[in-house]
Structure 1
C-alpha cells in the first residue's frame, strides 16, 4: 500500500457531522491594555492570545482574528511582518511614520490605517505611541497558507485621517435612527472594497456611537466582534449575559452568536449633548466571510 493510501481515514457520520469545539467566552482584555500603556512599557507587541482556550497551536483572539496592542517608544521603531491577508491599525496615542514597500505615511493619534498583509512594515515613533491592530492571521494559519507576496488589488494601503473621521462622526451622531436600524454605525471601506461593504474582504471595520440614554438593541450575528472602546461616556456592553463597563482603550470580545447590546446610561438634562457624552467604539468583525457566504445570521434578540 502506498504512503498516500495509508494516510486515508474514514470517519463515521456520528463523529464527522456535528463537530464540537471549545466554547469562547465573552471577556475584557484590561490587563493587556494596562501593560502596554504603562510608563515603562518597552517597544513591542502584546497579543490578545486565547490559543490555550481555543485549542490552537498559533496565537488567536478568535478563530479567524488576532488582536494586539503595540507600543513604540519615542525615537524607536518596530519592524514587523504578519502572515495575514490584511492588517487594521488604530493609533491610540502618539505620532510617527510608517515605511512599507516604498510607501511613507505620517500617522498620529486618532488615525486608522489599513495595509495589506505579508509585507514588512516599520513603525517609527516621534513620541511615545500605542497602537491597536487586528489581522486575520489565524484564518490563514488554520488553512496552512501564506499571503501572496504581491499586494492584492482588493487590499491597498489606506489612511483614515483623524480629521476626516471626526467630520463623518458628526453626521453619525445626529442621524435619526429607524426602529429596525441595527445601531449608530459608520462602516469603513476603501476604493476597492466599498462594493463588498467591508474594510478587508474577510473583515469589517466600523465606528459605533451610542448617545446618552440610547441603547443598541440586543442582537446577535455569526461574526465574532472585537470592540475597542475609544470614548466610554457611560456605556456598558452586555454580552452573553455578562456586563462589561467600557473603559477607554479596553478591548471586549463578543463571541460569534452571542446575544449582546451596548447601552449608554449617561443622562443629560438640558443643554447640548457634547461629543464627550457620546460613547464611541471601533469594532472589527470577521463579518466579510459571512457576508460573502450569505450566512451573516443577524437578528434582534
Structure 2
C-alpha cells in the first residue's frame, strides 16, 4: 500500500467511498480550534481572516467581465507623429492605462507598452524596463546601444530585439527616433521579474528586411495574398515562429490600390506606420455582413511616423487608395497568444 493509500485508509477506515458533493442536509463540522493545536495570537487570527476576501458570483453576472464593465476593453487610439517631433531627448509612453484601468504604470495594452524614443545627436539615454522582451525600430537617425557589455550600431530601418540584460544605454550620433515596445505591463500584472534571458540579442538589419520584403512582393501572386509582409523570427522561437516568446512583429507592404481583407485575432496590435500618402486607412468593427465586409466600421487614417492600436477580436481591413505604396509594422503580444493556443486568427472568406 502506498503512503497516499495509507492516509486515505486512515481517514476513511470503513472503506466506503465518500461523496465530494456538498450535502446541505448535513451540518458542517465545527471549525478547528487553532488554540487547542497550540497556535496563538496572530496565527490564530489569520486562520479566521482567510475567508474575508472570498467573493461569490452567479455565473451569468461574472462570466463576461468586459460586458459587465468590470474589465474595460482595449480602446482604438491614434498616436500622432508630432509626439516625437523636435524637443528634448525623451521617452514618450503611448499610455492607455487610465481608460483600461491598469494600475502601477503606463500601458498601451494589457501586456505591452509602446513608446516613442527621441534621442538628439550627442545625447544618450539609459533605460531599464522590467521586461523579458524589448523591440526597437529605428524610424530615423543613427547611433549605438550598450547592451550587456556589448555595443551594437543602428540606423534608420533597423530592428533590435533584446531580452532582459539589465540597463541599456542608447547613444545618438544623429537626431534619432525609435519606436520601442516591451512587455513590462504583463510582468507587472503577474508580479514577476525576469529570471534569465530567453533569447539572444538580435538585430534585423534594414537592408536584409527590405530585401526579403521585395522578394515576397515581386513573387507571382503576391497581391492575391491577404498580406505582403515579412514576419520576424528569432531561432529560439522555433515553435511559435515569433520574434520573441511574447512579441510578434511584421514588416509589411500595402500595395497601391490594394485592400487587405478583413481579419481578426485575439492579440492586441500596436501598428506603426512608416510611410504613406493620404488615402491609406484601416477600418475596424465587431462583425461582418454577408459579403464579408465590416459592418458600421470605424475609420483610422494613417499618418507617417504615427501609431494606432487595434484591439483584440476586432475585424479590421487595411486600404490603400493613395496611389503610392505604404509600409507598416504591427507589433503584437501574439508570441504569448500563440504559445497559449489562443490567438484564433481568422480571415474573411469573401472577396
- TM-score > 0.5, shorter chain as reference: yes
Please give the per-residue CA displacement for 1:203-262, whole angstroms capped at 9, x wherever unaligned.
Answer: 100012111111111111111101100121442111232112211111011000111111
Where relative contact order (Cα < 8 A, 6+ residues apart) is larger, the structure is 1
Q: Cα deviations across residues 47-84 of structure 1 (Å, max 9, x unaligned)? A: 00011101011211011110000011111100110111
Task: Give secondary structure in 1 for the equivalent of 2:65.
Answer: coil
Q: Is 1:62–2:62 an aligned residue pair?
A: no
Equivalents in 1 of 2:250, 2:47: separation in Å?
47
- The aligned counterpart of 1:35 is 83
Q: CA offset at residue 165 of structure 1?
A: 1.2
TM-score by length of 1: 0.89
Greater Rg over alpha carbons, structure: 2
- Which residue number in structure 1 is paired with residue 186 of structure 2? 139
Query: Unaligned regions of 5+ residues in structure 2, if any?
Result: 1-43, 286-296
Q: Which runs of 5+ in 1 are unaligned?
A: 268-276
Instruction: Show the counterpart of 2:251.
Output: 207
Deviation at 1:16, TM superposition (A): 4.4
Provide Cα deviations, 1:185-220, integer angstroms capped at 9, x if missing partner: 210011222442100111100012111111111111
Which residue pairs with 1:26 in the alignment? 76
- Counterpart contact for 2:264–2:347, Cα < 8 Å: yes
- Give the CA RMSD over aligned residues: 1.8
1:186 aligns to what? 230
- Whole-angstrom distance in 2 between the partners of 1:217 and 1:258: 13
Does the aligned pair in 2 maintain the 1:227–1:253 contact within 8 Å?
A: yes
Question: Displacement of 1:13 after TM fit?
Answer: 3.8
CA distance in structure 2 between the aligned counterparts of 1:52 and 1:193, rounded to whole angstroms: 33
User: How far apart, CA to CA, are the structure 2 residues paired with 1:127 and 1:178?
Assistant: 37
State the TM-score, normalized to the length of structure 2: 0.77
The aligned counterpart of 1:17 is: 63
Whole-angstrom distance in 2 between the partners of 1:193 and 1:110: 23
Separation in 1, partners of 2:222, 2:112: 31
Deviation at 1:143, TM superposition (A): 0.6
Q: What corresponds to 2:136 in structure 1?
A: 89
Once the two structures are TM-superposed, the CA of residue 85 in structure 1 deviates from its matched residue by: 0.8
Structure-2 separation of matches of 1:178 and 1:163: 20
Name the structure 2 match of 1:50. Answer: 96
Identify if the C-alpha distance between structure 1 residues 171 and 56 changes in structure 2 by more than 3 Å, giving closer, same or farther.
same
1:261 matched to 2:306: no
